[in-house]
Chains A and B, each alone.
Chain A
Amino acid sequence: MNRRLVDRLIGEVLFAVALFAIAAVFFIIAFLLRDGYQIFMDAGVWNFIGGVQWNPAGEYPSFGAFPLIVGTILVMALAMVIAVPLSIGSAIYIAEIAAPGTRAVIKPAVELLAGIPSVVYGFFGLILLTDWIRIAFGQPSGSSWLAGSILLAIMSLPTITSVAEDAISAVPREFGEGSLALGASHWQTIRNVIVPGAFSGISAAIILGMGRAIGETMAVLMVTGNAAIIPEPLTNIFSPIRTLTGTLGIEMGEVAFGSLHYHALFGIAVILLFITLSVNGAAMLIIRRIQGTQGLQKPGPSGIQPGGFRRMRNLMNGIALKWPFTLLAGAGTAFLPLLLAPPVLVARLIDGITSICFVHQPLKWTFHPRSAQKWAFCLISLSVLIVLTILGVILSGIVVNGAGAISWEFLTQSPRNLGREGGIFPAIVGTLYLVGGALAIALPVGIATALYLIEYTADNALTRGIRTAVDLLNGMPSIVFGLFGFAFLVLFLNFGVSLIAGQITLGLMILPTIIRTTEEALRSIPASIREGSYAVGATKWQTVWHAVLPPAMPGIMTGAILSIGRAAGETAPIMFTAAVFSSRFLPSSLSEPVMALPYHLFILTTNVPGATDQQFGTALVLLMLVLSIYLAAILVRWRYQWAKVF
């Protein structure tokens, strides 16, 4: 009796916690709208979105977001032009061509690129890339659309490569073997059988990369020059350009509260949210179509059956699970009907382009199959080489220049003279505090939500709603979290710029990752384990606690580690909520602000002249911290043969 009561109680608690994700999403959107709607009222919806002049500080202020929207799209589009060939090439190489040994090295190397914090990319771009563009192309200024796109391309490479590689690997072996048996060459098989078989997954990969590129703030803000103009002509890639995220990043800190400019920035955040959610919605739609008309299936571990299309579908479900955007399903439509139209369009477009390239073959090969294969493999290997070179250049540049700055003093002292002397000890500790607090908030909530979704309920409208909310949270740009934290925690709740505000903001940001990875870990536990536990008389909770959670631990751990990495490297969510310029002491309560490594690097790079050594030193420490966390995740996965969770 008592046991059963406890069991029910725990179920109810988990249910209540699971609703948190939905509440959080509504809350964030509501709060942005609350502060943003006034600009749409005052300036008019069309004037705000379609206006071509962004001049909030003029004698007659004008708030036209159109150049910013165009800027965002242009930077993203060129980034995709650069990143897509490289990452699809790398994906094909890793999945199809590489020997197992090579694969074991290259795959984690590409994934490591994902772990480099965006402020480090921005730092790298500001120091090297913009100068290189200015000199190499003889331009007056290197801060440009091109610089932003190159950085974003590098940043979205790992996402696209990982997901595309998943999709390619998931094409059933029989397909390739059948093609080879018919006498096709390896390249013909890849080109005509394997890639077309995976093309929906590849489309989804590209769209996920687009989502990452649109939401990125710090790196873009540091290299694009931030002039709110539409390039003239539209192909002038050396023109400075300004994105929606960049506008939020540079103007939010100094804007007067309650002014029209303040509301305009929240209006910008609403537009940004709308665009990113649309793009991520498109990814969801595409992957959902792969699942066909089956709708949502909760794949049991015994679900895999041999043979043909049935098996392929199950495998596709496997990919879908890794990217639960997929599970957005019908509930997403009900949630925000407005979001539907753009994603369908984007999905169609990407689908069309992919299928023209791979399926309809507009250009017939005129080479001999063997030389075609040689050329193709050459190009594919080249793309991998380029990716690895990029990784090498960034890492070695920072290590070589940063190693000199690292000393015992640098690691253990407080900064003096605005960071030009002394060390970064408070920033290291501050980062740990922030990440620790975020994890303490997100881990219990995330695990409870996942437990509820997987163990306590079947697939129904409510769970779809919760999953939709989780996916929406996951798709939100980090600067939007920062803005929410600022508007709600710092101002509305009057926490002030404080440790706790930063921890909650970061906690919200990493929550979806934790839920998703935990869900995946729980799903991988065979039903027989649960059945065995019930058979010996255990209650639901006893089963979950003693039989299901322990074997799922490595998976949950991977999720937690990845979240730590992400939280430790993010600048945008903490720059308005928790971080300070300099502080001699460690915080003594949760209501005090802290120093943090990414913010310290951002400030040193953009605000403090004559601190080059400290810049590289801080970049190196931050890089080492985040990369070692990612490396830990990769090792854990390797050790347990855990599926990819990037």
Chain B
Amino acid sequence: MNGVRFPAKRAVARGAFAGILVLFLLAAGCIGNEGSAAASRHIAVTGSTTVLPIAESEREAFEAKFSDADIKISGGGSSVGIKAVGEGTADIGMSSRDLKPEEVALYPDIVRHEIARDAIILIVNQQNPVDHLTLDQIRGIFNGTYANWNQVGGSDLPIVVVGRDSASGTREYFWESVMKKGNFTSRQEEFNSNGGIQQKVSRTPGAIGYVGLGYTSGVKALHLQVDGTSVEPTLETIRDGRYPLSRPLFLLTKGQPGGLAKEYIDFILSDEGQEIVARAEYIPLPS
């Protein structure tokens, strides 16, 4: 352990060490000095990762129009967005769910702005012969009544139920509108993102899951059997309400917005902004 040490090597080591240290300190310290674009107005937007893709696309278009605008967008989840806007650490919060009673009590002055809708699409593996299901069948699958695809008109294949984590706004909506607040089967595998579910379903022949409209590549989107007719989930059917599963997405502000925050929200609600919503594969508001 205590081998002979050579002073020269020691000096080199010390030098290298000091060098590394200085480098990292510089990296940590120089942050304050850069990017101080003069006379720019900026707002911070944070919250739901479901809403984030919309906010991000809108920002690109908005900033192209107003060169002095600087909108910083981060994720973290609906709760982070609600908390941040309630506490005033962000100017705008993003949420894929309505405020919970606890949150309304904490932050009574939060104002919701519905900016788009998100559909809930049932997806299965592309090899799965099943094309459409009724809401009752879907409920039966997710509460564990059906365990094999041959019980709902498919081939003999065990059903792998895939859902979102229990804190997810998407799951809450699905639970209220499809499950009628009944329990999910305890064998449901849980992922914390749309992409996770899509990936799982695309790789697992017997899997079924639910995702937003933007996550249907590589998997088969099921048609819903409503009142005897099969409804394909498309922008049109979702927008006119024939496809029954969609929910609102919100931006939140503390009190009525002003300044840049107001301009940004107004831009999203404008015709141009709603076109961007559609391009990002979300459902624009009815005009």
Q: Mark A residues whose CB is within 8 Å of B.
A: 53, 55-59, 126, 130-131, 134, 140-143, 225-229, 240, 242, 249-259, 261, 301, 418, 432-433, 435-437, 439-440, 443, 491, 494, 496-497, 499, 503, 524, 526, 550-551, 553-554, 556-557, 560-561, 564, 576, 580-583, 585-590, 592-593, 603, 605-610, 636, 639-641, 643
Contact = CB atoms under 8 A, between A and B. Distances in A.
Contacts of B65: none
Contacts of A436: 23-28
A227 B189 contact: yes
Contacts of A553: 10, 13-14, 17
Interface stretch (B82-90, B113-121, B129-137): B82-90
A617 B7 CA distance: 42
Interface of B: 1-3, 5, 9-10, 13-14, 16-17, 20-21, 23-29, 31-32, 34-36, 46, 48-49, 52-53, 56, 72-80, 82-84, 87, 89-90, 100, 102-103, 106, 157-160, 165-169, 171-172, 175, 181-184, 186-196, 198-200, 203-207, 215, 217-218
Contacts of A225: 189-190
B13 A557 contact: yes
A581 B123 CA distance: 25
B187 A261 contact: no
Nearest to B11: A550
A254 B165 contact: yes
A581 B52 contact: yes
Contacts of B10: 550-551, 553-554
Given A606-B199, A607-B196, A588 B1 contact: no
A250 B163 CA distance: 12
A134 B157 CA distance: 13
B171 to A, nearest CB: 7
B190 A609 contact: no
A255 to B, nearest CB: 4
Contact of A640 (B3, B21, B89, B195): B3
B160 to A, nearest CB: 4
B70 to A, nearest CB: 8
B127 to A, nearest CB: 13
Contact of A226 (B49, B78, B191, B198): B191
The 5 closest A-B pairs by CB, nearest first: A253-B77, A436-B24, A588-B35, A254-B167, A436-B28
Nearest to A434: B28
A589 B34 CA distance: 8
B183 A55 contact: yes
B160 A140 contact: yes
Contacts of B87: 494
B106 A258 contact: yes
A433 B32 CA distance: 12
Contacts of B25: 436, 440
A251 B191 contact: no
B280 to A, nearest CB: 10
Contact of B189 (A126, A226, A576, A606): A226
Contacts of A437: 28
15 contacts: A56-B166, A131-B203, A141-B207, A226-B191, A251-B167, A253-B76, A436-B24, A553-B17, A557-B13, A560-B17, A583-B73, A606-B196, A608-B195, A609-B215, A640-B3
A253 B171 CA distance: 14
B102 A259 contact: yes
A57 B31 contact: no
A640 B5 CA distance: 8
Contacts of B20: 557, 560-561
B3 A641 contact: yes
A588 B31 contact: yes
Contact of B89 (A255, A494, A499): A494
Contacts of A583: 72-74
A141 B74 contact: no
B181 A59 contact: yes
B80 to A, nearest CB: 7
A257 B195 contact: no
A551 B193 contact: no
Contacts of B172: 57
Given A58-B183, A254-B167, A255-B167, A433 B3 contact: no
A551 B192 contact: no
Contacts of B100: 256, 259
A257 B198 contact: no
B175 A57 contact: yes
Contacts of B3: 640-641
A261 B166 CA distance: 9
Given A141-B160, A254-B79, A256-B103, A227 B187 contact: yes
Contacts of B53: 418
B167 A253 contact: yes
Contacts of A491: 83
Contacts of A142: 203-204
Contacts of B218: 609-610
Contacts of A242: 190
B17 A641 contact: no
A119 B21 CA distance: 26
